[in-house]
Chain A
Amino acid sequence: MAECHPVGFQWVMEAKARGATVIHVDPRYTRTSAVADLHVPLRAGTDIAFLGGIINYVIEHERYFRDYVIAYTNGPTLISEEFKDTEDLDGVFSGLDAEQRKYDFHSWEYQTGTVQAASGHREMEAEKAARHQERHRAEAAKSKTAHGESHGSGGAAVPGNADRDESMQDPRCVFQVLKRHFSRYTPEVVEQICGVPKELFLTVCETLSDNSGRDRTSAFCYAVGWTQHSVGVQYIRTAAILQLLLGNIGRPGGGILALRGHASIQGSTDIPTLFNLLPGYLPMPHAGVDVDLDTYVAGEETEKGFWGEMRSYMVSLLKAWWGDTATPENDFCYDYLPRISGSHSTYETVMAQLDGTCKGYFVVGENPAVGSANAKMQRLAMAKLDWLVVRDFSLIESATWWKDGPEIETGELETKDIATEVFFFPAAAHTEKNGSFTNTQRMLQWHHAAIEPPQHARSDLWFYYHLGRLIKAKLAGSSEAMDRPVQDLTWHYPTEGSIAEPSAEAVLAEINGYDADGTPLSSYEQLREDGSTACGCWIYTGCYRDGVNQAARRKPWREQSWVAPEWGWAWPANRRIIYNRASADPDGKPWSERKAYIWWDDDQARWIGHDVPDFDVHKSPWYRPPVGATAAEALSGVDPFVMQADGKAWLFAPTGLQDGPLPAHYEPQDSPFANLLYGQQRNPVRVVFSNRHNRLHPSPSEQGSSVFPYVLTTYRLTEHHTAGGMSRWQPYLAELQPEMFCEVHPELAKERELEHLGWATIVTARGVIEARVLVTERMAPITVQGRRIHQIGLPYHWGPNGYSRGDAANELAAIVLDPNVHIQEVKAFTGDIRPGRRPRGPASVALVEEYQRRAGITRSTGTEVRGGR
Chain B
Amino acid sequence: MTAILAAIRLALRAIVRSKLRSTLTVLGILIGVAAVVIVVALGTGVQAQVLGQISNLGANVIFIFPQSTQTSGVRSTDVNRLTEADGRALLAEATSIANVAPFSSTGAQVIAGDRNAVTQVMGVSRSYFPVRGFSVGKGQMFTESEELLKAKVVIIGETVREKLFGAGDPIGQYVRIGRYPYRVVGLLTSKGQSPFGEDQDDRVLMPIGSFRARVVPSPPGRVQQLIASATDERTVDRAVAQINAILRQRHGIEPDADPDFGIRTQAEFRKSSEEIVGTLTVLLSSIAAVSLLVGGIGVMNIMLVSVTERTREIGIRMAIGASAADIMTQFLVEAIVLSVIGGVFGLGIGAGVIKALGGALGWSLALPMPAVIAAMATSTVIGVVFGFFPARRAALMDPIVALRQE
A associates with B: no
A residues with CB within 8 A of B: none
B residues with CB within 8 A of A: none
